Amino acid sequence: MSPHRLDSTFAALADPTRRAILARLASGQASVTELARPFAMTQPAISKHLRVLERAGLISRRRDAQRRPCRLEAKPLAQATEWLERYRQFWEGNFQRLDALLDELKTGERNARKKKRRRAKR
């Protein structure tokens, strides 16, 4: 994948509407009308998003058919998300351990407070 392509992939993914469009296409191809339906957006606005996704190679559209259904091109997306996914896994491992540590610290603090109260009562 060329650096330029990767760059445009991330730029395309930066927008929540475009991510939602890709999520919809992950479950099968759809026409512009079908894609526009869940959004409070005009068809030309959706078409603009589709052009950005198409330029980034994330979707393709059949030129011949009347409906011109859009379909997801999984490869560039997989390449772009692969790094993020690995990075996420690295941090998630760390953070799960941090969750456990924080639980331990919370219990420690609670017990320390209880002890203090008990001592104060005496």
Partner 1 sequence: MQKTGTLKLETRGDREIVMTRVFDAPRKLVWDALTKPELLKRWFFGPPGWSLIVCEVALHVGATYRYVWRGPDGTEMGMGGVCREFVPPERAVCTEKFDNPWYPGEALVTTTLVEQAGKTTLTLSVLYQSREAREAVLKTPMEQGVAMGYDRLAELLASPSAQATGKEAGAS
Q: Which residues bind partner 1 (CB under 8 A)?
A: 3, 6-7, 10-11, 13-20, 22-23, 26-27, 38-42, 45, 48-49, 51-52, 72, 74, 77-78, 80-88, 90-95, 97-103, 105-106, 109
C-alpha 85/C-alpha 88 separation (Å) is: 5
Q: Which is nearer to partner 1, 91 or 111 (CB)?
A: 91
Q: Which is nearer to partner 1, 28 or 122 (CB)?
A: 28
Question: What's the closest the beta carbon of residue 121 comes to partner 1, in angstroms?
Answer: 25
What lies within 8 Å, CB to CB, of 122 at 6+ separation is none
Q: Are 70 and 30 in contact (CB under 8 A)?
A: yes
C-alpha 96/C-alpha 91 separation (Å) is: 9
